[in-house]
Amino acid sequence: MRAVLQRVTKASVTIDSNKVAEIQDGLLVLLGVENEDTQEDIIWLSKKITSLRIFNDDDGVMNTSVKDKDGDIIVVSQFTLHASTKKGNRPSYIKAAKPEIAIPLYQNFLKQIESDLGKPIQSGKFGADMKVDLRNDGPVTIIIDSKNKS
């Protein structure tokens, strides 16, 4: 699993002119699922995201997690995170999991991150054409891949 985390002061997801998710301070998580992902990847990535100290403490030092801050999270599925651009100018998405594999993993990830955060999160809709708006705070953008744990 690959995730791009963006620390935000606000973010929203719109599908067909309908706003389906909206948060203020917290994280926008773009999530890519690949064929080899397992429940172990879900557990590791969720704990990493909810514990990562990328929010400022009272001294202005990044020393607080989204969980410590009681921040919110929006998760958006994004298969293009697994794009391979090695050959030519057209990206290959061969590593991105097909919907029959990706959807159950994505749904399990949503449940796990809610559990780890200790409150409900919001999300886009898997496979939908989504419009994502955000105000990146910092800017702080972190890329995490569950296949690169060390």
Per-residue pLDDT of the chain (150 residues; tens, 9 = 90+): 999 999 999 999 999 999 999 999 999 999 999 999 999 999 999 999 999 999 999 999 999 999 999 999 999 999 999 988 998 899 999 899 999 999 999 999 999 999 999 999 999 999 999 999 999 999 999 999 999 987
CA dist 78 and 12 (Å) reads 15
pLDDT per residue over 57-87, tens digit each?
999 999 999 999 999 999 999 999 998 899 8
pLDDT of residue 15: 98
Helix/strand number for the chain, H first, E second: 3, 8
3 Cβ contact list (under 8 Å, min separation 6): 29, 30, 31, 32, 45, 49, 81, 143, 144, 145
Q: Known catalytic residue: 141?
A: no
Among the options 6, 78, 112, 122, which is catalytic? 78
Q: Known catalytic residue: 112?
A: no
What 3-state DSSP class applies to 73?
Answer: strand
pLDDT of residue 149: 82
Among the options 24, 38, 80, 141, which is catalytic? 80
Find, among 82, 57, 68, the residue nearest to 145 by Cα.
82
pLDDT of residue 138: 93
Tell me the pTM: 0.95
pLDDT of residue 40: 97
Q: Known catalytic residue: 78?
A: yes
Among the options 79, 109, 112, 122, which is catalytic? 79
What structural domains does the chain harbor?
2-145 (3.50.80.10)
